[in-house]
Structure 1
Amino acid sequence: MQRQHSTPCFLCVLVAATIFLVALLLGHGHRSLSTGYKSLVTIGATTPPDSAPEQQRTDAYHNAVALAFRDALHKGDVAAVYFNDSVMGGHNDDEPRTTIATMLGDLRGLSIHPVSGPGYAATLFREYAELIAKAQQRPRLAIVSINLRAFSDDWFFTPRWMYAATVDYLRLLASPPTLADVPAWLVSGERDPAVWWTARTRRDASGHETLFREINARRNRLMAATKPGLSPEEAKRRQLFIKHYMTDIPASHPMIGHLLDTAARLSRAGVTTLFYLTPIDVEGGMSLVGGEFAATVSDSARRVVRTLAEAGVDCLDLSALLPEDQFVDRDYACEHLNLAGRRQVAEALAAHLAKRTVPGDKVLPR
């Protein structure tokens, strides 16, 4: 009889010991993963020595921007976020460099956290949106600029504009280790948790080469053709207008997918979102390329707005808002604006947001 009683007790002790050992293993594994994770987060946003390659220094800077945003989210300091590229600020020392975010904030009584940098696009914004979706304290409003130039192949094949390292870093920030990660790490056979985290967030190659050969066919024909009577500087600028804005934009374009991902993640997070197409120097493009330039920009803008609208996303088309004299950097076909141009963009955004604001409420409701 004693033996029959001792068997269940032994099993209970064995089960309890097993559970205890598993808990210890999970706890130790989680601490190891957390240590490797924190090391990657810190190193990724730390400025390397002057002797490091320039690309590594650039990556660290943009990673630091992402880390600062994550920390601001955790503190609840982001009431509204404005995603933009280099168009956000000034590019002329002869006038104030007041940003669009500052002017819009003043017009609407908003405290806006800007996230902007050269060539920033939805390739990055969708990762920021995932960071927002996983945060406990989220902004109530997100403004997302869309630059038609970011639909060209540079954003998928040129390291400067791909921001591959910062995409990986944002994915790292959005997925801190949990106990559920420990078994996958243990069975992977990789002893170094930092190496395992790096492999987990690594970005795959775009794989869009065939698509861009197709959608760039017309653009490349235009670039190969010459226009008589142009100075060398004008001929170069003409090439840039074609290269930047004459890529065809089908529904399968990867940047469309990035925009839809951004919208879906922000919607899932309950964030009121406004997308808008940033102004393009249509007059300058027409003078050097011809009427086909204006038609292409208009058609591209329509396709982007329609695609987003079909997904239930509010998108304001400002692509043809401004005349040629409000664009700066005249030797380069880009979207940089003078102070008056930036103010007009801020005013257009403020007017559109006012239609969606509850009277007496300075911040849009969810």
Structure 2
Amino acid sequence: MIIMIGCVLLLVAALALGKFLQIRALIAAVPKPAPQTVSTAQVQKLQWQTQFTAVGTLNPVRGADLSTEVAGLVRTVHFKSGQDVKAGALLVELNADSDIALLHSAEAAAAQAATVLKRDQAQLAVQAVSQAQIDADTNDLKAKRAQVEQQAAVVAKKSIRAPFSGRLGITALNPGQYVNAGDKLVTLQTLDPIYADFSLPQQQLAGLAVGQVVNLTVDTFPGQSFTGKINAISPKVDSATRNVQVEATVSNPKLLLLPGMFANVKIDIGGVQEQLTLPSTAVTYNPYGSTVYVVKEAEPPKAGSAGAAGAAGTSAPAANPSGKPQLVAEQVFIETGPTRGDQISIVKGLKAGQVVVSSGQNKLKNGSPVTVDNSVQPTNDAAPTPQEK
């Protein structure tokens, strides 16, 4: 009986060992995933000037579409399209013949009223008229003079003058043309200085102050920068966008900047600091945090593992066909800071000199083997320009 039980146990042990060896052989035969080709970048410590960036719109310090308060026939046009004019310069005259005639009539009536008042004052001295007559003559003279002033104002409206100095736009106005009240005659814009209006998120409001220097660039003049200063910060944050409006005054002596242009605005905040930087493409953003893949050598397999080298289970470092140690990508959580151009600053999670995946991380997972190919690198410029330029 004991011998029978011993035989059964021996048979079970033999079957278990055979099954174990079979499973280990199957595991060893499973093909390992091929390394994924990626490009890499080194974490660098660079001089970093924190900047706020925005897209702004250029607006004139003074700008208006000039029109007329009264209708009339254009008699004379005293300007040319695109001309620079001073404040008070005569631009357009409308036909005012009938209005001038009415003005002369009112002036004559006022002169007659003044004569009557003077004569009645002389008669009052000899008690020929009453004081009531003098009061009536005085009021009549005031009314006549008021009519003169009113008619003179009507005549003045027939002459359109520049309300401020600036540059005139293009107009199709010609002598003999009839214009209605409110019709646009020509635009007038003051170009030097010029305003740059832009918006920034409320989180950046603490770094703004009136008098801060701003730098502008426009696509019209690539490589050229324009300098200005913040002159106003809106006291209200837009409840829909949570942005605050900012206005800067920019010197424009060459009149290169024009109202309506869009501009790229940069504001330097604080002093220059050292920051760890990476290309923005190296960072993967997830709901649970920002991550990068750090490239490092794979650890050698442990003794006795399925992948151990040699029949005796001795350990050996993982290697690729070239004989070099196998590289793997390790996922690391990081905390990012401000960005500039193609670069992003790293606040926490990395050290200078570490190598991270800069492109191709969408096909990786933690521990994936990788092959580095840096023949094509993503851009890593602090002040990039459009590639077509």
Normalising by structure 2, we get a TM-score of 0.16
Pick 1 or 2: higher relative contact order, CA cutoff 8 A, min separation 6. Answer: 2
- TM-score, structure 1 as length reference: 0.17
**Which structure has the highest helix share of the two?**
1
From the two aligned structures, give the one with the greater strand fraction.
2
